[in-house]
Structure 1
Amino acid sequence: MPPAVIVAAPAQSSARQDPPPSLLQRFWAALRPFGPYAPLVAMMVAGLLVLSASRIGLMLWQWERVAATGIAGRMLLQGVRVDLIQVGLLVVPPLLLAPVLATAPGWRLWRRLTWAWAIFGLTLLVFLELATPGFIGEYDTRPNRLFVEYLKYPNEVLSMLWLGFRVHLLAGLVFTAVAAWAFTSLMRPWLGEARRGRHWQLWLSWPFVFLLAAFAIRSTTDHRPANPALFALTTDTMVNSLILNSTWSVTHAIYNLKHESGSSEIYGRMGEDEILDTVFAARGLQRPPAGSPLPTLTLLEPTRPRERPLNLVIVLEESLGATFVESLGGLPVTPELEKLKEQGWWFEQLYATGTRSVRGIEAVTAGFLPTPAQSVVKLSLSQENFFSLAEPLRRRGYLTEFIYGGESHFDNMRSFFKGNGFTRIVDQNDYPAPRFKGSWGVSDEDLFDRAHAEISRHHAEGKPFFTLVFTSSNHAPFEFPDGRIELYDSDKATENNAVKYADHALGRFFEKARQSDYWRDTLFLVVADHDIRVRGDTAVPIERFHIPGLILGADIEARRLRTVASQVDLPVTLLSLMGIRTEHPMIGRDLSAEAADVPGRAMMQYEQNYAWMEGDRVVVLRPDQPPLFGRYERSGKRLVTGDAPPPDGEAFARRALAHSLLPAWLYRERLYRLPDEAEASAAAR
């Protein structure tokens, strides 16, 4: 019998094999060598991925304009540089606390603080990137300081967002919540990390880590740190904004608010005497004597002297650009304005100074030149004793009033007007039973009915008056009463339909005005504050600054003005036509005193670019870059740049620079005003 063969069974493993580590575990294992800095590195890596993914998505969305520049690759590389600046800014606050909290006694607090900070910072990045497409759609740029400024008006803004951008709003909130949950999951393993290393290793490494973060924020070895102008690689400002990220864009805009008074110095510097000499020479006027307490104060001799000066009504139309006026090359949605233009002075080449309502207000009512800063309607030093048309008229016994359909505190209008010559304000709280009320106040019909009633009453009482009427129906979400107009677009809530309704209301008002007793004694100006959406792929989209303007009423004859004109020319011209002899500090031209063949000039502030146009010649001033020369082709409605500087290019650019620097200086030194009434009386004696 063969010997038995004993086969041993394989031994059973006493321990179950561990599953392979997850991607999240491997991620945190890779970060472990960074010790207490691991959560900050995690935030930087995640932030860079989020911002790069957003930029790629935005570039694909706007690919036609991106491709036209030919710099898509550079945009991505420079975008990473900008993103390093932003994540560096997020890292610095907790990094400053690391030498104290990242030690053994403070380890638990350090873990929780950096966990919460990373989730907050990453969620903020996502939130602003999600808000970016809607903001670009409305303003043709990434979120900037407007994103913050409008937070002061939650009722109007929330109503506008809910009614006009509901899908964007809800989608943004949902995706932001999902992102917050995802980042919470990403950072959760950090809460269980034990402290490793010794205190001396932390304190020895900290200066190096801090300097590395500081260099990421500075992003250059030049004498000035990186700013958005460094990434302006094309003449298309929207494409330039895609290189940035929205958090840095907003942060930098907020930071720049403290430089408001010297804002125009981003274009260059010039002595005060040279500024004044250049500006007055451009107007063909003699400069006041050196040392004058108010260096731009001049005496207006009216071209139409009158025994009894006219009353004045200014109708400032919200967002009514030339794009909506058929005779100016736009859409046929303003038939009433087209009829009215045959009854007065019609401006064929009138340009807004900026892109916001407050910029139009400062130009039309104060004749103030634009700057890269906020409008003086909002700035602190101009809330009193600052020139506006209302002040010289008030001193002559005029009743001065502002009539608006919305809330007059919006954009600080009430404060600015009350402090600078306006004695009476009517806003939406003063309409007891309006026909229609939307997000931005009562309808334009309600507004004009109230204006007609007030003007009629003033005239019946024998009071001279200046009335500023500011419309609001042509504003997103474009709400207006049903059944008033034949819709231009099939969907009601569109800008074209809102403009057509605003035009309808304007026509009804002038039908009443022409039949009223006050017509023969009153001068009217109808002008837009700005176009509805100012955008384009040139350094300054001049075609979107083109606006309609019409002066009519009293004895004003029909006339076409073909000269290039600016909103700042209107208040001087109005005073002259009214028959008002007065001192004023305005830089605008009296168009009623000029020959018809004068080529004219206009200035336009577009973000941080400043365009100065004389006839069809244009120079664009840009921060920390040489002037850009070109021509505006009116037939094609396009600014063509890239030409070599003209023979007088230096003098041309100096004129532009002088006009850009003057308003900032006048504001800063509080020189844009009339002499106070005691001084004026003494001078008269």
Structure 2
Amino acid sequence: MWTLLFPKRFTLLKAFVFLFICMSFLVRLSFFIFGFSEVDTGTGTIVRTFGTGLFYDIGTLSIFIIPFLIYLLIFPKKWYGSLVDRIITWFGFFLAVLIIYFSFFGEFTFWEEFQRRFNFIAVDYLIYTYEVVKNINESYPLPLLLGSLLSLVALTLLVLYKRKFFQKTFQNETTFKQRLLATLPWVTICLVFSFFINNDQAEWSKNRYNNELSKDGIYSFFAAFRNNELPYSEFYSTIPEKDAFTAVKKQYLPYGDTFVDATKNEIYRTIHSTDTTGTVQKPNIIFICIESLSGKYLSSLGGDQNITPVLDALANQSLFFANLYATGTRTVRGMEAITLSIPPTPGRSIVKRKNNTGLFTIGEVFKKQGYERNFFYGGDGYFDNMNTFFGGNGFNIIDRGRGFLLDANISVKRTNIEDEEVTFENAWGVCDEDIYNKVLKEADLAHQSSKPFFNFVMTTSNHKPFTYPEGKIDIPSGTGRNGAVKYTDYAIGAFIKEAKTKPWFKNTVFVIMSDHCASSAGKWELDVANYRIPAFIYNLPEQQNAKINTLCSQIDVFPTLFSTLGWTYESNLFGMDILKMKPENERAFIGNYRKLGYLKDSKVLVLGDGETINFYQRNVLDNSLKQTPMNESFKKIAVANYQVADELYHNGGLQLKSLNQ
């Protein structure tokens, strides 16, 4: 049987199959050990985890080796061992071994960051090679790693050469029939995996870690590549469209919102100020979106590391939202939630999709109130499509620009952060102090006019490789996230201290919120605690400081700000005023690119592609989820919000032009 599968002409193929299976097993075993405290370790569970993993490894292998199989099948026997045969075989085998070693190495770095096999994020990172390669180089000894990688490939080829694997491949009399019989099983497996097996089928366990271990990294990567957008109506549980819109609109009726046309499937409405004095305030607004700041780092949210003294002090000097959740796991998902005030939709963030310009964003609300709108980023805003999204939605761009706006039709003012304005820079951009200094400079210029400004500032220092200027804090640069968090906190303190010396400070409100947590991974479908982030509204005129424990979401922060400023405005936003949110309307949205979660009270509903719905009781003390019988009304409102959000994107309901129809 073994001879039938691997005749002599297939000797190198046999070696590659053995190498691939062994390496895959070692990677899976390593991840099993790394996550041992989170993995279900029952004997049957472990066997199924590794057995499923082997199944996907073989399927991946069958797809990966198809080009080599075709070559082995069609290359004439009379030319075995010829110069052409040797060149093609040596080069092809070298390249294949290099790819699998590189991918397995990449999986370790990806797992360290996300505790997942390759997914949507890995696909996105392929586009932005400059930032990613630079980040890897600053986080790891890249020359040493590349040298080690090439040495390992060379050693592998040398061992196989010494053991005469190449000689046996070149010197044999394997017939076409023998080659065909050896090829057919692999082609069959390849076809089965291509048409009947998908990555979702590896998710057989309620434990997320076991599901990730059951996958193959390379297969997961290409599965994510194929499914970069998941239309909600095709993959998720739905209700009749009219019922969905009715359920969503019903949420806003208790607050006095009036819909432009209550008969249409849209949420465009007028939100009326409840300020009886008729006072409308228009202070400058500086929004600081902090990279990867989990709530657990703040002492004011239960942390015990004492690395955020500035933010902990601000918690007592602000409207401090202590029970607020990020909608997703990436910066672009946070930007989507904040600017569009919308629940997460499946697949990639709207920031990175087609038709992502000319939308109704919070920027449109500011525009109607007479504000100048600016987006600040310390790196090149080409990354993650940020410049196209913000520029295409009316924001001026201030960044460390090497690239260009992707759409030539976008005409906005773009200001560069010049070399002389930079004191420290890494793969992701200038340090937080430098971006804040640029914000101060631009605010000084804006103050000379009578027009208020809204500045959206995206920080980068709390991102791997966690490097920042030395001597600012008592943790050395590049030693880990705790140092980056403490530097991030320090830089905010220095910024606010300097802002207080400015003539525009008294008329400026500072909104501070994280884009997402440092890590969202956990053993559950969605690990709720890993979506909790801090949010502050500081220096708000005529507003008492308070700690707000209302369950809420990123999408609610700016609607809350608009309300406190006494604005009556037109809205196409899902968010609500947190300060006026009724207990029965408290909720939060969380998700990754495939799972969509709806939180209410201590209940969690998770929608998955394949129309799966799981309903859980959440234990707040240990963050565990216990499956519980479905609550149909809970299910209806959860499905309605996600379905309507996706429908509005796909039918143009988020576009500005639709508001005047």
Q: Same fold judged by TM-score > 0.5?
A: yes
Residue number in structure 2 paired with 1:542: 528
Alpha-carbon distance in 2 for matches of 1:308, 1:348: 25
Q: Indicate how the Cα distance of structure 1 residues 539 and 287 shifts in structure 2: closer, same or farther if over 3 A, else same.
A: farther
Corresponding residue number in structure 2 for 1:345: 319
Query: Does the 8 Å CA contact 1:358/1:411 hold for their aligned counterparts?
Result: yes
Residues 31 and 213, structure 2, Cα contact 8 Å, conserved in 1? yes
Measure how far apart 1:592 and its partner are. 3.6
Is 1:278 aligned with 2:278?
A: no
- The answer to whether structure 1 residue 226 and structure 2 residue 197 are counterparts is yes
Q: 1:460 aligns with which of 432, 448, 454?
A: 448
Query: CA–CA distance in 2 between the matches of 1:555 and 1:675?
Result: 36
Q: d(CA) in 1 for partners of 2:493 and 2:182?
A: 70
**Structure 1: which 5+ residue stretches go unaligned?**
1-26, 219-223
Q: Which amino acid aligns with 2:391?
A: K
Instruction: After superposing the two structures, state which structure 1 stretch, 649-658 or 422-431, moved more.
Output: 422-431
Cα drift, residue 565 of structure 1: 0.6
The residue type equivalent to 1:241 in the other structure is E
Question: Aligned partners of 1:226 and 1:81: how far apart in 2?
Answer: 11
Cα distance in structure 1, aligned partners of 2:9 and 2:323: 63
- Name structure 2 gaps, 5 residues minimum: 402-415
What's the counterpart of residue 235 of structure 1? 206
2:147 and 2:649 mapped to 1: Cα distance?
A: 41
Task: Please state whether the residue corresponding to 1:381 is helix, strand or coil.
Answer: coil
Indicate if the aligned counterparts of 2:199 and 2:219 stay in contact, CA closer than 8 A.
no
Identify if the C-alpha distance between structure 1 residues 192 and 424 changes in structure 2 by more than 3 Å, giving closer, same or farther: closer
Where does residue 509 of structure 1 map in the other structure? 495
TM-score (norm 1): 0.84
Q: How does 1:245-260 map to 2 (within 5 A)?
A: 245-257=216-228, 260=229
- Superimposed CA distance per residue, residues 386-420 of structure 1 (whole angstroms, 9 cap, x where no aligned partner): 22222332344321101222222221111111001
Write the mapping of 1:11-160 to structure 2, written as runs, cut at 5 A.
Answer: 30=3, 34=7, 40-68=13-41, 71-95=45-69, 100-101=74-75, 113=88, 116-160=91-135
Q: For the residues of structure 1 that align with 2:232 and 2:94, how far apart are their CA atoms? A: 35
> How many Å separate the matches in 1 of 2:316 and 2:85?
73
Question: How many residues in Structure 1 have an aligned counterpart in Structure 2?
Answer: 633
| 1:478 alignment counterpart | 466
Cross-structure match for 1:666: 648
Superposed displacement of residue 211, structure 1: 5.2
Task: Find the counterpart in structure 2 of residue 325 from structure 1.
Answer: 298
**Structure 2 contact 310–490 (Cα < 8 Å) conserved:** yes
Q: CA deviation at 1:666?
A: 2.2
Listed one character per residue, the Cα deviations across residues 19-40 of structure 1 (whole Å, up to 9, x for unaligned) are xxxxxxxx9x946864766654
What is the DSSP-based 3-state SS (H/G/I as helix, E as strand, rest coil) of the residue aligned with 1:484?
Answer: coil
Aligned match of 1:221: none
**Which residue number in structure 2 is paired with residue 4 of structure 1?**
none
Q: Does 1:312 align with 2:285?
A: yes
Q: In structure 2, what is the equivalent of residue 217 of structure 1?
A: 193
Distance 1:673 1:81 in 2: 45
> Which structure has the greater CA radius of gyration?
1
Cα displacement string for residues 57-97 of structure 1 (whole angstroms, at most 9, x for unaligned residues):
33233333334465111111111111111011113344456
CA distance in 2, matches of 1:594, 1:54: 48
Matched to 2:591, the amino acid is Q
Structure 1 Cα separation of the partners of residues 249 and 560 of structure 2: 17
Is the Cα–Cα contact under 8 Å of residues 324 and 533 in structure 2 kept in the other structure? yes
Q: How far did residue 131 of structure 1 move?
A: 2.2
What SS does structure 2 have at the residue aligned with 1:312? strand
SS in 2 for 1:486: coil
Distance in 2 of aligned mates of 1:244 and 1:32 = 25
CA distance in 2 between counterparts of 1:299 and 1:669 reads 21
SS of equivalent residue, structure 2 residue 365:
helix
Summarize the Cα distance change of 1:37–1:287 in structure 2 as closer, same or farther, 3 Å threshold.
Answer: farther
CA displacement at 1:625 relative to structure 2: 6.9
> Are the aligned partners of 1:288 and 1:297 in contact in 2 as well (CA < 8 Å)?
yes
**Residue 578 of structure 1 aligns to which amino acid in structure 2?**
L
1:378/1:411 contact within 8 Å kept? yes
Counterpart Cα distance in 2 of 1:420 and 1:434? 28
Residues 173-188 of structure 1: pairs in structure 2 closer than 5 A: 174-175=148-149, 177-179=151-153, 181-183=155-157, 186=160, 188=166
Change (3 A) 1:356 1:480: same
Task: Name 2:545's counterpart in structure 1.
Answer: 558
Give me the TM-score of the superposition, normalised by structure 2.
0.87
**C-alpha separation in 2, matches of 1:651 and 1:121:** 53
Contact 2:288 2:459 in 1 (8 A): yes
Cα deviations by residue, 1:159-184 (Å, 9 ceiling, x for unpaired):
322222227x7346514541354147
Alignment match, 1:638 = 623
Alignment correspondent of 1:373? 347
- CA 492–231 in structure 1, closer or farther in 2 if over 3 Å, else same: closer
Partner of 1:532: 518
The match for 1:21 is: none
Whether contact under 8 Å (1:399, 1:465) holds in the other structure is: yes
Shift in Å, 1:45:
3.8
Shift of 1:556: 2.7
Q: Give the secondary structure class of the aligned counterpart of 1:63.
A: coil
C-alpha RMSD of the superposition: 3.2
Query: Residues of 1 paired with 2:584 and 2:496: CA distance?
Result: 31
Match of 2:175 in 1: 197
Distance 1:227 1:660, change over 3 A: farther
Distance 1:618 1:327, change over 3 A: same
Range with bigger deviation, 579-588 or 360-369:
579-588
> Which amino acid letter does the alignment assign opposite residue 434 of structure 2?
D
Distance 2:5 2:272 in 1: 79
Which region of structure 1 is more displaced relative to structure 2, 309-318 or 513-522? 513-522
The more displaced of 494-503 and 302-311 is 302-311
Give the structure 2 partner of residue 448 of structure 1.
Answer: 436
How far apart in 2 are the matches of 1:261 and 1:277?
24
Distance 1:466 1:329 in 2: 32
Cα deviation, residue 492, structure 1:
6.0
Secondary structure at the aligned position of 2:109 is classed as helix
CA contact (8 A) 2:462 2:484 kept: yes
C-alpha offsets along residues 595-624 of structure 1, whole Å, 9 cap, x if unaligned? 4x5561111113522221012211122333
8 Å contact from structure 1 (residues 264, 661) kept in 2: yes
Report the Cα offset of residue 457 of structure 1.
Answer: 2.6
Distance 1:189 1:242 in 2: 37
> What's 2:563 paired with?
576
> 1:194 deviation in Å?
4.1
Name 2:411's counterpart in structure 1.
Answer: none
Percent of aligned positions that are identical:
25
Q: Is 40-49 or 132-141 further displaced after alignment?
A: 40-49
| Corresponding position of 2:231 | 262
**Does residue 141 of structure 2 align to residue 166 of structure 1?**
yes
What amino acid is aligned across from residue 212 of structure 1 in structure 2? T
Amino acid at match of 2:321: F
**Maintained 8 Å contact 1:601/1:613:** yes
